[in-house]
Amino acid sequence: MEKTKKVILVSGMSGAGKSTATSILEDMGYHVIENFPVQLITLLVDIIENSTDPRYSNLVLSTNANDFAMFLHGLKGEAIDVSVLFLDASDLVLIRRYKSSRRMHPLLLSNSANTLEEAIAVERQILSRTLNASFVTIDTSFLTVKEVKRILEQYFAKSAIPSFSISFMSFGYKYGVPLDADLMIDVRFLPNPFWVPELRVYSGDDPQVYDYVMEKEQTREFLKRMVSFLDYAFGEYVKEGKNHFTVAIGCTGGQHRSVAVTNYLYDHYREQYHSYKQHRDEKEWIRSEQ
């Protein structure tokens, strides 16, 4: 039977942005249900499969860490196509968000932990038992609401035809690694334009820095080998049925080498696959000092 009903199960770390994500999905035309009793999941599956109400054709279910595994196991049905959206953020970011909002972590409210740090660790352990590479995972640590919206539209736009797509992201290791990367590439071994005084204030988006990185023998040899690997890997992921793959390219500050290499890979693959790029840590001060 063709799967005619779409359900997005939204979960992840408390404070990582589940409410923001569900609001965006609701604006995209999905019907959102939050805090549904997991004990009634069998009843809900029956309603989804048999209801003619259009709200149950594109449904979003938001759940907490404790109920996530039961929802994931219970959402079985011949007519139901289930996707999982997992929201994550670094522990430091989660702590900062809770302290700034003055909200209580759910595991503190339920007396399942004694401190905020312990609550985050316990919740991460609970969720780690059911994490799967097929989940759509978004690290919101460095993202604005606008950026989250753009990513969700890439994955879940109802009018989109399912196909393999790739996100290329530059980042700086000094600001932390992205948690949602499927593949992380370290390009800190490449010659660094930062140490060239006349290039320091520019970024890999500027031709003088891009050309400096690309003309180096190390870069040419690296890209030849990397593209060969990615050509093979992307082809295998398409065969496997994976919908999206995130490649994160990191250098020290996320300004020069990683931006240049990200731009190269994006340009190389954009005609072959649906491709997106993001420069996570490219700073505004680079432009302002020019």
Q: Mind listing the pLDDT tens digit for each residue in 228-271?
A: 999 999 999 888 777 789 999 999 999 999 999 999 999 999 88
Q: 198-215 burial string, b = 16+ CB within 10 Å, else e?
A: ebebbbbbbeebbebbbe
265, 231 in Cβ contact below 8 A? no
Residues in the chain: 290
Element containing residue 108 per DSSP (H, E): helix 106-109
Token pair 């988006």 is at which residue? Answer: 205
At 160 the pLDDT is 47
Residues of the chain with pLDDT under 50: 160-162, 284-290
Give the count of beta carbons closer than 10 Å to the beta carbon of residue 47.
Answer: 13
Give the count of beta carbons closer than 10 Å to the beta carbon of residue 192.
Answer: 19
At 77 the pLDDT is 66
At 290 the pLDDT is 33
The CA distances from residue 67 to 22, 33, 117, in Å, are 17, 14, 21
Give all domains of the chain, ordered by start, each with its CATH number: 5-156 (3.40.50.300), 165-288 (no CATH)
**pTM as predicted:** 0.64
